[in-house]
């Protein structure tokens, strides 16, 4: 059993984007309800994080963007973008969300934790240097990757983003550098419009942005194949010192916003392969951060699957199982890329990543 740090805080349940907004409080509450069960709680560490400092946020976002978000503090309702709205404590929650991911990195670097899961809201991966968008205020994972560079002198950080949507904000934060490798699987074309396979980075960063755009209908075996044949081989070649995951459960088969069909076993398998990659490359250092996901059962079961794989054993709690049976594990570990569109992506990326 590993030392897995879980970041949770009541503040993350106080960011309220308003009635009928899909990024609602319950999507985190259903996960907390499981994590708070005594038999689950005793398995994890629950560190207390500090809010991110303004200069840490501004390692990714410009001053005007920081100010726009900070001015929402104390207001019952404010609008940052057509679908990004805030309540009085959203700003504080956003600072603590970024601070939690940074704390997770600090704990792994010091050996106080082996890995972790930041169960935070608001999400982050759409937030760009100069704007909040797509339910995201500050880019939690990008801010944390910058922190890993500055506070821990890391020069190879790998970010895997399996959210349904392309993480435009994260991609563009590191588009011109090789010190952060960004890999995304996402439904395409779809919101936010970016994430074509031809977006590979610029200058020193060319090849260090990897996009796997997908048409709807991909399930466990398709995702397993992409991890087996594209993501893990690229990771082994890159040899990251730290792995960060933008985990969206909106690729779950019942998600109202998405067209993918991943089950909890699929989430378990993807996590398992990345834990293995982290063991191979960086003493097991992998930190998962919650992004999207809009089906409450998908949120809960997906998060349980990820937590179990991080921990290295099933949670053994009522009604929520070990989702990855040996049989499914074997099936997925043998999965190979079969969709023509994915084969084409793999071939296009071979220019940068020869998959030896």
Q: Does 163 engage in binding with Zn ion (CB under 5 A)? A: yes
What's the closest the beta carbon of residue 84 comes to Zn ion, in angstroms? Answer: 13
Would you say 233 or 248 has its CB closer to Zn ion?
Answer: 248
Stretch near Zn ion under the rule CB under 5 A, chosen from 63-71, 83-91, 166-174, 242-250: 242-250
* 169, 248, 264, 284: which one binds Zn ion (CB under 5 A): 248
Q: Does 302 engage in binding with Zn ion (CB under 5 A)? A: no
Scored b (16 or more CB within 10 A) or e, 185-197 reads bbbbebbbebbeb
Token code pair at residue 69? 């978000």
CA distances from 250 to 12, 134, 161 (A): 19, 13, 12
* 177, 250, 301, 309: which one binds Zn ion (CB under 5 A): 250
Helix, strand, coil percentages for the chain (3-state, nearest 5): 40, 15, 45
Would you say 252 or 353 has its CB closer to Zn ion?
Answer: 252
What's the closest the beta carbon of residue 80 comes to Zn ion, in angstroms? Answer: 17
Burial of 130 (0-12, 13-18, 19+ CB in 10 A): exposed
φ/ψ region of 319 (left if φ > 0, alpha if ψ in -120 to 50, else beta) reads left
**Parallel/antiparallel/unpaired status of strands 78-81 and 84-86:** antiparallel
* 11, 93, 141, 164: which one binds Zn ion (CB under 5 A): 164
Closest CA relative to residue 214, chosen from 342, 349, 61, 58: 342
Stretch near Zn ion under the rule CB under 5 A, chosen from 88-96, 104-112, 243-251, 301-309: 243-251
Would you say 163 or 220 has its CB closer to Zn ion?
Answer: 163
Q: Does 8 engage in binding with Zn ion (CB under 5 A)? A: no
CA distances from 202 to 124, 126, 342, 354 (A): 23, 20, 23, 19
* 292, 298, 306, 337: which one binds Zn ion (CB under 5 A): 292
Q: Does 165 engage in binding with Zn ion (CB under 5 A)? A: yes
Q: Does 125 engage in binding with Zn ion (CB under 5 A)? A: no
Stretch near Zn ion under the rule CB under 5 A, chosen from 3-11, 70-78, 157-165, 181-189: 157-165
Catalytic (active site) residue 125: no
What's the closest the beta carbon of residue 117 comes to Zn ion, in angstroms? Answer: 17
Would you say 15 or 147 has its CB closer to Zn ion?
Answer: 15
**Cβ proximity of 292 and 164 under 8 Å:** yes
Report the C-alpha gap between 54 and 197 in whole angstroms: 34
Report the C-alpha gap between 37 and 16 in whole angstroms: 25
Catalytic residues: 126
Interacting residues toward Zn ion by CB under 5 A: 163-165, 248, 250, 292
């Amino acid at each position: 059993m590993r030392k897995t740090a879980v970041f949770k805080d009541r503040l993350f349940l106080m960011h309220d984007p308003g009635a009928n907004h899909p990024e609602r409080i319950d999507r985190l509450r259903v996960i907390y309800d499981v994590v708070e069960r005594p038999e689950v709680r005793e398995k994890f560490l629950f560190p207390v994080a500090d809010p991110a400092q303004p200069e840490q946020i501004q390692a990714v976002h410009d001053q005007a963007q920081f100010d726009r978000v900070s001015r929402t503090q104390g207001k019952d309702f404010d609008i940052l973008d057509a679908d990004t709205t805030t309540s009085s404590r959203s700003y504080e929650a956003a600072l603590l969300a970024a601070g939690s991911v940074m704390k997770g990195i600090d704990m792994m670097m010091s050996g106080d934790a082996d890995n972790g899961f930041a169960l935070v809201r608001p999400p982050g991966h759409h937030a760009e240097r100069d704007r909040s968008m797509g339910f995201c205020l500050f880019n939690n994972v990008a801010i944390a990757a910058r922190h890993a560079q500055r506070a821990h002198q890391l020069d190879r950080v790998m970010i895997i983003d399996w959210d349904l949507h392309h993480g435009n904000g994260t991609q563009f934060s590191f588009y011109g550098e090789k010190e952060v490798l960004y890999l995304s699987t996402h439904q395409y074309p779809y919101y936010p419009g970016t994430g074509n396979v031809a977006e590979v980075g610029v200058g020193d960063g060319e090849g260090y942005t990897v996009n796997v755009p997908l048409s709807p209908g991909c399930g466990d075996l398709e995702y397993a194949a992409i991890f087996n044949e594209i993501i893990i081989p690229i990771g082994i070649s890159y040899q990251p010192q730290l792995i960060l995951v933008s985990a969206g459960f909106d690729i779950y088969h019942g998600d109202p916003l998405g067209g993918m069909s991943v089950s909890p076993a699929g989430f378990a398998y993807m996590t398992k392969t990345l834990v293995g990659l982290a063991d191979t490359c960086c003493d097991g250092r992998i930190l998962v951060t919650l992004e999207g996901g809009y089906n409450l059962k998908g949120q809960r079961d997906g998060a349980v699957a990820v937590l179990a794989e991080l921990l290295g054993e099933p949670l053994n709690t009522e009604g929520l199982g070990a989702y990855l049976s040996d049989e499914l594990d074997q099936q997925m570990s043998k999965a190979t890329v079969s969709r023509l569109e994915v084969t084409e992506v793999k071939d296009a990326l071979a220019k940068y990543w020869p998959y030896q």
